[in-house]
Amino acid sequence: MAGHTSWLWVTLRLVWRLVWRQPGLLVEHLGAHGTLLAAELALWLQAQERRLWLTLLSCLLLACGVVLAGMAAMLSAFWWLMPGRWPVEAGLSLGMPLPVLLWLLAVPLLPLLAAGLAWQAARRQASRPAFDTIGAQLAADVAAWREAVDAAGAQP
């Protein structure tokens, strides 16, 4: 316990010296930390905003694709109700012309594909850890402070 008290005493003595003898250095260092924190926060908020917009775009495209798929299903169902459109009467295995069938498939698939791409882009936005630069800087400051305390504690 005595070693812990002496370490605390040395730390407080170094803090007092820093505040008393070099207040400008302390203010400059804290200002640099504030600037770094503000820059990290701006980057993090920008990434979160981009991720939010991509997720919203993905949801909107998904809803659009589902609505268009429902409309395509209804149109293809009504195709069979029109006179002379039954496969037996038309003599075709599909029952409807190929361009109409491709149109009914392609129109809903385009927004669904775009929704999947937007969703993947939104998931990739979270690849960078938040506040890693400020964390590394604080760890370096703590290590430097411990070295200074250990060096000051060795002196009488």
At 130, is the pLDDT very low, low, confident or very high (cuts 50, 70, 90)? Answer: confident
Q: Does residue 113 form part of some domain?
A: yes
Domain region containing 110: 45-130
In this structure, the answer to whether residues 52 and 77 fall within a common structural domain is yes
Q: Tell me the pLDDT tens digit for each residue of 2-52.
A: 455 576 667 777 777 777 887 777 778 788 888 888 988 898 889 889 999
Q: Does residue 37 form part of some domain?
A: no
Domain count across the chain: 2
Mean pLDDT, rounded, for 83-88? 57
In this structure, the answer to whether residues 57 and 91 fall within a common structural domain is yes
Neighbours of 54 (CB within 10 A): 19
Q: Does residue 110 form part of some domain?
A: yes
Q: Is 6 exposed, middle or buried (0-12, 13-18, 19+ CB in 10 A)?
A: exposed
In this structure, the answer to whether residues 107 and 156 fall within a common structural domain is no
At 156, is the pLDDT very low, low, confident or very high (cuts 50, 70, 90)? Answer: very low
Residues 6+ apart with CB under 8 A from 118: 54, 55, 57, 58, 61
* Helices and strands: H and E segment counts in the chain: 5, 0
pTM: 0.63
Per-residue model confidence (pLDDT) at position 85: 57
